Amino acid sequence: MGFTLFSSSKEISFSCLESICQSKNWKHVVPRSFSRVGELNRKDRGDGVVKKGFVSSHLVPGHLEGSFVGKQQLNEPSSKLEFVRTLLIDNYDSYTYNIYQELSVINGLPPVVIHNDEWSWEEVCHYLYEEKAFDNIVISPGPGSPTCAADIGICLRLLCECRDIPILGVCLGHQALGYVHGAQIIHAPEPIHGRLSYIEHNACELFNGVPSGRNSGFKVVRYHSLVIDPSSLPRDLIPIAWTSSNETTPFLGIQNFDSCVDGFERQCGPNFFAKSLSTKSENGLQWHSSDSQELRARNILMGIMHSSRPHYGLQFHPESVATCHGRQIFKNFAEITKDHWSRLRSSLDSKRKFYYSACMQVPAVDQLFQDVARSKHLMNGFDNLKHASLCNLMKPPHSRYAKYMKLRWRKLECSANQVGGAGNIFSELFGSHHAGNTFWLDSSSTEMNRARFSFMGGKGGSLWRQVTFRLSNKSCSDMAFSHGGDLSIEDSEGSLTNTYLEKGFFDFLNQELESFCYDAADFEGLPFDFYGGYIGYIGYDLKVECGATLNRHKSSTPDACLFFTDNLVAIDHHSDDVYVMSLLDENTSTTSWMDEVEQKLLNMKLRPPRKSLSPTSAEISPGEGFSAEKSRDQYITDVEKCQEFIKDGESYELCLTTQMKRSVGELHSLGLYQELRERNPAPYAAWLSFPKQNLCICCSSPERFLRLDRNGVLEAKPIKGTIARGASPEADELLKQRLHEKDQAENLMIVDLLRNDLGRVCEPGSVHVPHLMEVESYATVHTMVSTIRGKKRPNASAVDCVRAAFPGGSMTGAPKLRSMEILDSLETSSRGIYSGCIGYFSYNQTFDLNIVIRTIVIHEGEASVGAGGAITALSNPSDEYEEMVLKTRAPTKAVIEYQSTIA
Closest CA to 544 of 498, 487, 478: 478
Task: Give the torsion through C-alpha atoms of 849, 853, 856, 859, to 10 deg.
Answer: 70
Expressed in percent and rounded to 5, the helix, strand and coil fractions of the chain are: 30, 25, 45
Of the residues 265, 319, 512, 827, only one is catalytic, namely 319
Nearest partner of 424 among 555, 571, 223, 272, judged by Cα: 571
CB 490 within 8 A of CB 466: yes
Of the listed 16, 160, 171, 837, which one is catalytic? Answer: 171
Around Cβ 449, how many Cβ atoms within 10 Å? 8
Burial of 605 (0-12, 13-18, 19+ CB in 10 A): exposed
**What amino acid occupies position 823?**
L
User: Known catalytic residue: 18?
Assistant: no
Choosing from 317, 325, 782, 859, which is the catalytic residue? 317
**CB-count burial class (<10 Å; 0-12, 13-18, 19+) for 367:** middle
* Cβ-based neighbour number of residue 99 at 10 Å: 28
Distance CA 451, CA 573 (A): 8
Short-list 440, 882, 827, CA closest to 658:
827
* Alpha-carbon gap, residue 614 to 625, rounded angstroms: 19
Q: Cis peptide leading into 815, omega within 30 of 0?
A: yes
Beta strand 627-628 with 567-572 is unpaired
* Contact call for residues 77 and 343 (beta carbons, < 8 A): yes
8 Å CB contact between 107 and 84: yes
Picking from 57, 47, 59, 119, the residue whose alpha carbon sits closest to that of residue 87 is 119
- Could you give the 3-state DSSP secondary structure of residue 268? coil
Contact 556, 416 (CB under 8 A): no
Instruction: Assess contact for 85 and 106: CB atoms under 8 A.
Output: no
With beta carbons less than 8 A apart as the criterion, state whether 479 and 544 touch.
yes
- How far from 439 is each of 195, 555, 659, 691, 800, CA to CA, in Å? 42, 22, 24, 12, 25
Q: Is 840 buried (19+), middle (13-18) or exposed (0-12) by CB count in 10 A?
A: buried
Q: How many Cβ atoms sit within 10 Å of the Cβ of residue 346? A: 14
Measure Cα distances from 538 to 149, 471, 557, 879 in Å: 35, 12, 11, 31
The reply to whether 181 belongs to the active site is no
Q: Alpha-carbon torsion 212, 215, 221, 225, what sign?
A: positive
Tell me the C-alpha distance between 748 and 321, whole Å.
8
CA distances from 290 to 108, 284, 570, 723 (A): 39, 18, 66, 44
Residue type, 142: G
In angstroms, the CA 836 to CA 300 distance is 39
> Alpha-carbon distance 249 to 237, whole Å?
29
Q: What secondary structure, in 3-state letters, does 550-589 show? A: CCCCCCCCCCEEEEEECEEEEEECCCCEEEEEEEEECCCC
Measured distance CA(498)–CA(138) in Å, rounded: 47
Please, are residues 850 and 835 in contact by the beta-carbon 8 Å criterion?
no
- CA–CA distances in Å: residue 699 to residues 109, 555, 627, 706, 835: 44, 18, 20, 17, 12
413: annotated active-site residue = no
**Residues tagged active-site:** 171, 317, 319
